[in-house]
Amino acid sequence: MADQDWSDAQIEAVVSDLESLRGGPMASAALVGCGPRAIEPLRRYLLQGKPRGIFQPRQLAVETLAALGARDVLLEYLQRSQRIVDPVVRSSEADVQSTAARALAQWPSEEVYRALKDLAGTRLLPGLVEALGKFRRVEMIPYFLWALGDDDCREAGEEALRNVGAGARPSLIEAAVTPAPSREEEIPSSRSRRRKVLGILADGGVSKIEWRSLRSLLDDQDTEIAAIASRIALKVGTPSDQAEAVHSLIEILPRADWFLRTYVRGCLADYYAVARPQIESEIASRNTAGDKERALDMVLRLLVNLKIKMDKAEQIGVDVCESRR
């Protein structure tokens, strides 16, 4: 018997099979084969069913409804107000809601956009950020910036801001130089947000005019932000800015973790012609310390190794040029 010939009772039974973590995908495929007749039983399952700590069955119901083209049911599900006290159940249902929002992006209409935008005023979900990012609307930039401060939504927020493109740059510049709640008492989510924002700006290429608004970040209290700002300065800043950037990078090294030290070393290597005088001066200054201090000086080792590598590369380049004459 073909799936579409099943009785209503049989379809209801297959909907119940979504509860099986092993057999659920087969039940979903069968329901899609039933066509529109499966939509109403799935709607009741989703809207009348009780959220639980295990989210997979309800998530599968959402995916099945999306495959059946049940846009209005997904909108109805997301638009209903639901207060969940249990944090485990609340987190589980958030995964289901994210899946529903993500699925709605396949219908890029103004109606869907408005519905998703209304939801964004009350909740922060990875799937909702992803879905709204597909619309590339400048007016959603504050929501995407909010997402950058959330561990679960950060990646989706970054992608959404990149999708907006040039229209996002003024807001990104403002966000990069605005710690929350203040410079002295900045919270971790604000630092994470500003790091991502500055990275997006740097990847897009900062103009000399934009750099003037970002210049204060050279001495930012967050070492990662100061490092990214220094790389931008080395690329587009004035000679004075470049000198300050090299100084900032060298000052960052003692406080940097392995990842940031690698980043700083890359900056100094990429702009070695500019950084060389200060690197040599720093090496000379640190070499005046005693043997024990020099042996333990990580910054000295890094700078000396960098100088040896860059000087050797320069000499190889000279030798190659002379051999071609």
| Residue 222 identity (one-letter amino acid) | D
Predicted confidence (pLDDT) per residue in 145-173, tens digit? 999 989 999 999 999 999 999 999 999 99
98-123 average pLDDT score: 94
Instruction: Give me the pLDDT at residue 3, please.
Output: 52
**pTM given for the model:** 0.85
Q: Is 136 helix (H, G, I), strand (E, B) or coil?
A: coil
Q: What DSSP line would sit under 142-194, residue for residue?
A: HHHHHHHTSTTTHHHHHHHHHHHGGGGHHHHHHHHT--SS-STT--HHHHHHH
Instruction: Give me the pLDDT at residue 313, please.
Output: 86
Instruction: Give me the pLDDT at residue 1, please.
Output: 44
- Mean pLDDT (the chain, rounded): 92
Instruction: Give me the pLDDT at residue 324, please.
Output: 52
Instruction: Give me the pLDDT at residue 319, please.
Output: 46
11-35 average pLDDT score: 90
Q: Is 39 helix (H, G, I), strand (E, B) or coil?
A: helix
Closest CA to 256 of 203, 307, 201, 302: 302
**Residue 19 DSSP class:** G
pLDDT tier at 84 (50, 70, 90 boundaries)?
Answer: confident
Residue 320 has pLDDT above 50, yes or no: no
Predicted confidence (pLDDT) per residue in 232-288, tens digit? 999 999 999 999 999 999 999 999 999 999 999 999 999 999 999 999 999 999 999
276, 258 contact by CB (below 8 A): no
Residue 117 has pLDDT above 50, yes or no: yes
| Percent of the chain with pLDDT strictly greater than 90 | 82
Give the end-to-end CA distance of the chain in Å, rounded to a whole number. 83
Q: Residue 223 and residue 256: Cα distance in Å, rounded?
A: 7
